[in-house]
Amino acid sequence: NILIIGATGQIGSELTMELRRRYGNDHVVAGYRNSKPSDALADSGPLERVDITNAQRLNEIVKRHGIDTIYNLAALLSAIAEDRPQAAWHIGINGLYNVLETARENGCAVFFPSSIGSFGPSTPRVNTPQETIQRPTTMYGVTKVTGELLSDYYHRRFGLDTRGVRYPGIISSVTLPGGGTTDYAVEIFYAAIKHKKFVCPLPRGAFLDMMYMPDALNCAIDLMEADPSKLIHRNAFNVSAMSFDPEILAAEIKRHMPDFEMTYNIDPKKQAIAASWPNNMDDSAARSEWGWKPEYNFKEMVSDMMEKVSAKLAIAYK
């Protein structure tokens, strides 16, 4: 059975539904902390209140449900983590430590999502290698590098089956992001459909890796299902599907909606975080070791987002 921690988060809420579709509702336990789960989540399978910083409770839940795989999607995203660095460390690392210890005692495999945020200003920005310098300047990045090292240690030292990917910004029409630096790439679609205009917090030239949510879900599940004997790396694989800056995204939206206008009102905090991250990662290791291949490219993502967000808001744009 599978436990998802952070099942009401941006990735967690859609990953839970996808795992239930693939493995059966009763085999996927949705672990959430504060936010009330959606009806879809609550009505489709088992729920548990999980405080990742409570090791004893985590152990009890893993034993009660016969968990053999833990997807740990509990984290504060980059921008909000800069406002609350102590909480970001507590959830991100003390929480991960509890997950790894619980997994070690119960023989569970662990999925840990790292991020482009695990890189810093001294990391090569273009075609960022799988193995390269990682000196992030944000607390979010510190928790992600630490998490990668801790997860690899548990694999090497205790034989734990830990695996992870360095996610780029994730774009979805289903869930809204919360407190990330890449959130603009989701917010722009809602603003375009509702108001035909968007005020962008990141500047022209802020290139960031991005990925459409359906690819992000396949990515996590395909990695966890991969043949372990083929894995040279573990925590964590560079994975990406596209890289663009606000200018390129706005121009592509304009192709669908000619009267769409974007202006800028730079958020210095988000600008500084984005500037410390690479432009695009080399994800050849993931492609060769476990067959990673995104299905959505930039134009397909934009077109699908325009359609899905327009339908969701019941506002036509064509």
Please give the backbone phi and psi of residue 210, each rounded to the nearest 5 degrees, phi first.
-140, 165
- Is 190 an annotated catalytic residue? no
User: Can residue 180 be called a binding residue for ligand VAH (CB under 6 A)?
Assistant: yes
Total binding residues toward ligand VAH, as defined by CB under 6 A: 14
In the region spanning residues 43 to 82, those forming contacts with ligand VAH, defined by CB under 6 A, are 77-78
The token pair at 125 is: 């920005």
Is-contact 117 138, C-beta < 8 A?
yes
Q: What angle do CA 236, 158, 219 make, to 5 degrees?
A: 25
Give the residue among 244, 250, 249, 251 at the shortest CA–CA distance from 280.
244
DSSP one-letter string for 179-235:
S-GGGHHHHHHHHHHHHSEEEESS-TT--EEEEEHHHHHHHHHHHHHS-GGG-S--T
In the region spanning residues 105 to 144, those forming contacts with ligand VAH, defined by CB under 6 A, are 115-117, 140
Query: Which residue's CB comes closest to ligand VAH?
Result: 180
Edge-to-edge strand ranges of the sheet holding 242-244: 169-171, 208-212, 242-244
Binding part of the chain for ligand VAH, among 17-25, 61-69, 174-182, 243-251 by CB under 6 A, reads 174-182
The token pair at 136 is: 């992030």
User: Can residue 172 be called a binding residue for ligand VAH (CB under 6 A)?
Assistant: no
Nearer CB in complex with ligand VAH: 119/154: 119
User: Can residue 169 be called a binding residue for ligand VAH (CB under 6 A)?
Assistant: yes
Give the residue among 200, 303, 210, 207 at the shortest CA–CA distance from 257.
303
Supply the minimum distance, in Å, between the C-beta of residue 128 and ligand VAH.
12
In the region spanning residues 223 to 252, those forming contacts with ligand VAH, defined by CB under 6 A, are none
Nearer CB in complex with ligand VAH: 45/180: 180
Nearer CB in complex with ligand VAH: 115/151: 115
Supply the minimum distance, in Å, between the C-beta of residue 273 and ligand VAH.
8
Which residue among the candidates 32, 140, 212, 296 is catalytic per the annotation? 140
Nearer CB in complex with ligand VAH: 106/175: 175
Nearer CB in complex with ligand VAH: 160/165: 165
Among 44, 172, 182, 279, contact with ligand VAH (rule: CB under 6 A): 182
The token pair at 304 is: 């699908």
Nearer CB in complex with ligand VAH: 8/78: 78
Supply the minimum distance, in Å, between the C-beta of residue 59 and ligand VAH.
28
Supply the minimum distance, in Å, between the C-beta of residue 142 and ligand VAH.
13
The token pair at 278 is: 């690479």
The token pair at 201 is: 């917090």
In the region spanning residues 258 to 297, those forming contacts with ligand VAH, defined by CB under 6 A, are none
| Residue 114 to residue 281: CA distance in whole angstroms | 13
Contact footprint for ligand VAH (CB under 6 A): 77-78, 115-117, 140, 167-170, 177, 180-182
Active site residues: 140
